Amino acid sequence: MPLINVSPDEARVLHDVLDNYHDSLLGEISHTDSLEFKEILRARETVIANVIDQLSEIDSVQRTQGVH
């Protein structure tokens, strides 16, 4: 599994960017008529949601440890 190293600030920015994209993606999914394209978007949404969850966990641990 590939890994990237990011600072706590970079992780927060990445989380915010992905969260905004996630909201837009959900809107796109709901407005898409093509079932095939909708499936592609849902798969992408799952990946984005998983990354957001991981970034949230990292942020939570860093806050507990007092990392800024």
Domain ranges for the chain, please list them. 8-65
- The pLDDT value given to residue 68: 59
At 31-63, the pLDDT tens digits run: 999 999 999 999 999 999 999 999 998 877 777
Rg, the chain, Cα only: 15
- The pLDDT value given to residue 48: 97
- Please tell me the distance from the alpha carbon of residue 25 to that of residue 44, in angstroms, as a whole number: 9
- Are the CB atoms for 29 and 42 separated by under 8 Å? yes
- Please tell me the distance from the alpha carbon of residue 42 to that of residue 35, in angstroms, as a whole number: 10
The pTM score is 0.81
* 3-state class (DSSP) for residue 56: helix
